[in-house]
Amino acid sequence: MAGVRRLLAGALLATSAAGVAFVGHHEGLKKTAYRDPVGIVTVCYGHTATARLGQSYSKEACQALLQSDLRAAEAAVRRLVKVPLSQETFDALVSFVFNVGEGNFARSTLLRKLNAGDYVGACRELPKWTLARGRELPGLVTRRNDEMALCLKGLK
């Protein structure tokens, strides 16, 4: 694979500033809690763990929640991925795990392909994840295509 020199052990990686901006862009900032398209209470940049309707946060508090949520997604990627990753591929996977959760990632064909060394095949699995509770969401179509592009960029 071209760019092997750019691949790093996952334990050395953290989400880049560009990766944080990528997730922030796709999640969008909403400082007051709301129900997402499938009814999950969400606040800030896609934070759901402690979100309750009626809550409001400052931009700074939202950024802190995003950093905390990203650390959890990073830890899942580091723990589950057994092959070296480039920064871009790591960022794409963190975005994906942030959105779909560790359990879905752990059970995915994407992860199986990645750990088998099929980097391209793994990246091409991303656009298959566009459903939320059985409904295809246009925002997920866009996000997954962008994640795939970022994932593949890391392989060049």
Rounded distance, CA 20 to CA 77, Å?
15
- Is residue 12 a contact partner of residue 25, using CB atoms and an 8 Å limit? no
Cα distance between residue 48 and residue 62, in whole Å? 12
Which residues are the active-site residues? 27, 36
Structure tokens at 90: 């790591």
The mean pLDDT value for 26-31 works out to 98
Say whether pLDDT at 7 is over 60: no
Closest CA to 16 of 68, 89, 72, 98: 89
**What confidence category does residue 8 fall into, taking pLDDT thresholds of 50, 70 and 90?**
low
Measure the CA angle with vertex 98, ends 128 and 38; round to 5°: 65
Count, residues in the chain: 156
Determine the pLDDT at residue 125: 98
Cα 25 from chain centroid? 12
**Phi, psi of 20, rounded to the nearest 5 degrees:** -60, -45
Residues 29/45, Cβ–Cβ less than 8 Å? yes
Tens digit of pLDDT for each residue in 66-79?
A: 999 999 999 999 99
Q: 3 pLDDT exceeds 80? A: no
Q: pLDDT at residue 18 above 80?
A: yes
Q: How confident is the model at residue 12 (pLDDT cuts 50, 70, 90)?
A: confident
Q: Please state, in angstroms and rounded to a whole number, the distance separating the CA atoms of residues 129 and 135.
A: 11
Q: C-alpha angle with apex 45: 40 to 51, nearest 5 degrees?
A: 45
Q: Which residue's entry shows tokens 């694979």?
A: 1
Instruction: Write out pLDDT tens, residues 80-108.
Output: 999 999 999 999 999 999 999 999 999 99
Is residue 57 classed as helix, strand or coil in its secondary structure? coil
Name the pTM for this structure. Answer: 0.92
Domain boundaries, the chain: 7-153
Q: What is the mean pLDDT of the chain?
A: 93
Separation of alpha carbons 97 and 15, rounded Å: 12
Tens digits of residue pLDDT in 118-156: 999 999 999 999 999 899 999 999 999 999 999 999 998
Q: Which CATH architecture has domain 7-153?
A: Orthogonal Bundle (1.10)
